[in-house]
Amino acid sequence: MGSRQNYSRRIQNDKNTFIKNELFRLKKNNLYRRIKIFDIEKDSTLKYKDINVYNFSSNDYLGLSKSQKAGNLNKIIQRHISQCSSRLISGSSSKIKSLEINLSKHRNTQSSLTFANGYMANLGVLSALGGKDTIIFSDELNHASIIDGCRLSSSQVNIFPHNAFSDLEKLVRESCVKKKNNYNRGNF
Ligand SMILES: Cc1ncc(COP(=O)(O)O)c(C=O)c1O
C-alpha cells in the first residue's frame, strides 16, 4: 500500500512539474493568455476594469445581436449570454466568472473553467494536456469527443478493449519499457 501511495505521489509530482514547465515556456515566449473580464453595457460598449471601451473584436459582423427584429430575445442574449466573441478576446463576462467561482466552491477545486458543451471540454483539455511526448491510454468505446481530442493533441494513443484493465496494465507496462529503452538508446 505504501509503495502504491508513493507511486501516486510521484505521478502527481511529475504531472505538476510538466504543467509548471509548460506554463513557464508559454510565459517566456509571450504565449500565455489570460481571460479578461468584459461586461456589455446598455449602449453596447464594453466595460473593462471600470473603463468603457468600444468593441472592435466581436464576431457580430452583421449586427444581428442588435437587430430589432429579434426583439426581447436579443436583449436577454446580449445582456446575459453572448458577447459575440471568443472568451480569450472580449467574450468573457463577470457572470461567467462568478459561475466558475461558484462551481469551484461547489466542487472544492482551486479554480474551474466552463465550456459550451462536453465535446469542447474534451477537445480543450486533451489538446492542452497532450502533445507529441504524451501517451494516452484510451478505452475503445470512449466518446467521439475523447477520440477527436486525442487526435488533436498529437499524442500517441494506445487503445485497449472496453473496460479491460489487465490489457490496460499490460499496455502501460510495455510503454514504460519502450520509453526506458529509448532513453537508454539516447544516452548511449
Ligand atoms: C462521456 C461523454 N463525453 C462527452 C460528451 C459530449 O457532450 P456534449 O453533448 O455536451 O457535447 C458526452 C455526451 O453524451 C459523453 O457522454
Note whether 21 and 59 are same-domain residues: no
CA of 47 to the centre of ligand 1 (A): 34
Comparing CA positions, the residue from 83, 78, 55 lying closest to residue 67 is 78
Note whether 126 and 178 are same-domain residues: yes
Query: Does 118 contact ligand 1 (Cβ within 6 A)?
Result: yes
Note whether 130 and 184 are same-domain residues: yes
Note whether 47 and 22 are same-domain residues: no
> Who has greater pLDDT, 22 or 188?
22
Residues 134 and 137: their CA atoms lie apart, in Å, by: 10
Supply the pLDDT for residue 179. 64
Residues 78 and 63: their CA atoms lie apart, in Å, by: 11
**Percent over 70 (pLDDT), the chain:** 81
Q: What confidence tens digit (pLDDT) does each residue in 45-97 have?
A: 889 999 999 888 888 877 777 777 776 776 666 565 567 888 999 889 898 99
Backbone angles phi, psi at 186, to 5 degrees: -60, -40
Per-residue pLDDT band for 122 (boundaries 50, 70, 90) equals very high
Give the 3-state secondary structure of residue 156.
Answer: strand
Residue nearest atom 5 in ligand 1 by C-alpha distance: 118
Q: What confidence tens digit (pLDDT) does each residue in 156-186 have?
A: 999 999 999 999 999 999 988 776 554 433 3
CA of 151 to the centre of ligand 1 (A): 17
**Percent over 90 (pLDDT), the chain:** 49
Note whether 145 and 184 are same-domain residues: yes
Say how many domains are in the chain.
Answer: 3
Q: Which residues contact 75 (CB under 8 A, 6 or more apart)?
A: none
Q: Residue 159's domain spans which residues? A: 117-188
Please report how the helices 118-129 and 144-152 are oriented relative to each other, as an axis angle in degrees rounded to 10. 30
pTM for this entry: 0.76
